[in-house]
Structure formats: structure tokens, C-alpha cells
Structure 1
Amino acid sequence: MRDARDPWWVISSAAVALHGVAAITVADVDVLMSVEDALRVLAQLRVAPAKAAASPVFRSAVFGQWTAPPLVVEIMAGFHVATASGWTKVLPRTRVPIRVEEAIVYVPRRDELAEMLRLFGRPKDLERVRLLTAQS
């Protein structure tokens, strides 16, 4: 990620955990970035972007799964969520740097992350909002 040219973020459950919520299960790490950066990172990792949409709720212009690390890293760009008003683009406005060992990773600010999770609307996302806002 050091070579990323545009802003990028860890979102969803991993971002909630990075904000210090201990009672959260993280199954994978979702990374949201620009299309250009996502294509470059996936090529460097030798991961082919997915050919088709994987979900009726979410879609991305670019999506790939890096399965080598202990937790799968899902790299996405041009990310949208289906809402009552149609497909809604998900692009954070805030960037909070968090040190993880020798690296810096970026997450949306707590309030923006909660807003994003509410937009996703799944029961597990709403539970993440509850946990995230309980520690605010």
C-alpha cells in the first residue's frame, strides 16, 4: 500500500477493530481504493480481479481477493451498495491513520464508519455500529 497514489481505507469489521473495538470478529480485511491503485496492487500481488459481481447488495468496478495472508484481504474500487434509492457509491470523506506494527493504515473516522455500516444495513453491520458507538 506504500505505493498507492490515491487515498485508501480499511473499512467494515477490520476498521471497527482498528478503532479499538475488541468484541468484534474480523473474518477478512476490506480495503477500498481507487480503480488505478486497485488494479496496480492486484497485479503486484498476482491476483486476478473477479469477473462478475459476487453480491446483489454490493458491487465494485474492481474486486479481488488476496488469500495468502492469514486473513483474506478484499481489495475493491468503485464500490457501491444497493439502497432503497438505487446503487449508492461508498467513498469515505475522512482518513484516520492508525499504526499497525511498522505500518500506517487508514480508516474512516468513527462517525463516518458508523454511517457507512448503517448504509450496508445487514444485521452484522448494525451490530458493528452498536459496538463502535458504545465506545465513542
Structure 2
Amino acid sequence: MRDARDSWWIIASAAAALHGADIPVADVDLLASRRDAEALLTRLGLTGTSQPSDRFRSDLFARWTGLPLPIDIMAGFHVLGPDDWRELRPVTRIAIPLGDVTFPVPSIPELIYQCRLFARPKDVARAAILQRFGHEADMRPRIA
């Protein structure tokens, strides 16, 4: 994502783990703009699909398995909420360094909101774990 032109995020379980939550991470969910996702898929030699399910859909989706954890690359990610489909557009970006790479993730309160919106049992459990961190101000640097 070094060549990304727009904001992007790591979301879901990987984002919670980057914040310090002790939870299992089966894959990394990367949310990007369509142009950045398309450019990344081209560089990786992947073809995107829309990958709909009963609760989630993406305008563009691909899974890259070239690292120890699979990376789900998404653009235009939508969640079926209580009323209708809504696009998930994170508002906050917290910079979390890991080794020599910095990953942008939503804030803990925003991740809790997302988990509750996803509403699957594993997401409800994730929200409860994140709730332990509280809603105090996160002192990590925010990035644009």
C-alpha cells in the first residue's frame, strides 16, 4: 500500500489485534478506495470479484494468499444493517507501528461500532473484548 493515493485501513480482527486485543486473527481485512484496490490487484496479478454474502458485499474483492495470513482486499465494502445496506467508511485513522511498517486502523470506539454492526457472534465477542479498552482518548498518532 506504499503507492496508495487514498486513505486505507486494516479493519476487523487484525485491527483489533493491532490495538492490543488478544483475539485470533485468521486473515487481514484491507479496506481501500477502488482505484487503490484495482492498482494493488494489478500489481499482485489478482482478479477482483464482488463476493456478495447475506451480510456483506464489496464492489471489489480479492484474496491474496502470498503472505502467512491471507489478505482480503476490499473496496466499496457494504454491511447489511438493521434497515438496509450501508457502506462502511471508517472515519478515524490511528497509526499503529509493527516492525518497520505502520498500519492505519480505525479507533477502538469505531471498531466497537463496526463489530456491533457486523453482528455475528464472533463480532459481538470482539466488541466486548474491545470494550475493556474503554472509550478513553487513544494517544497514538492520528494520520490523515
TM-score of the superposition, structure 2-length normalised? 0.90
The letter for the 1-side match of 2:4 is: A
1:1-136 equivalence runs, <5 A: 1-22=1-22, 24-50=23-49, 52-136=50-134
Cα drift, residue 84 of structure 1: 2.3
Tell me the C-alpha RMSD between the 2 structures: 0.9
Cα drift, residue 53 of structure 1: 2.6
Identity of aligned residues (%): 46
Distance 2:85 2:70 in 1: 26
TM-score of the superposition, structure 1-length normalised? 0.95
CA displacement 1:61-116 (0-9 Å, x = unmatched): 11000011110000000010012211011010000001011111100000011101
Distance 1:53 1:46 in 2: 18
Cα drift, residue 56 of structure 1: 1.4
Asked whether the 8 Å contact 2:8–2:30 carries over to 1, the reply is yes
Q: Write out the 4+ residue segments of structure 1 that deviate beyond 3 Å after TM superposition.
A: none
Cα drift, residue 47 of structure 1: 1.2
Distance 1:53 1:11 in 2: 17
Between the two proteins, the alignment pairs up a number of residues equal to 134
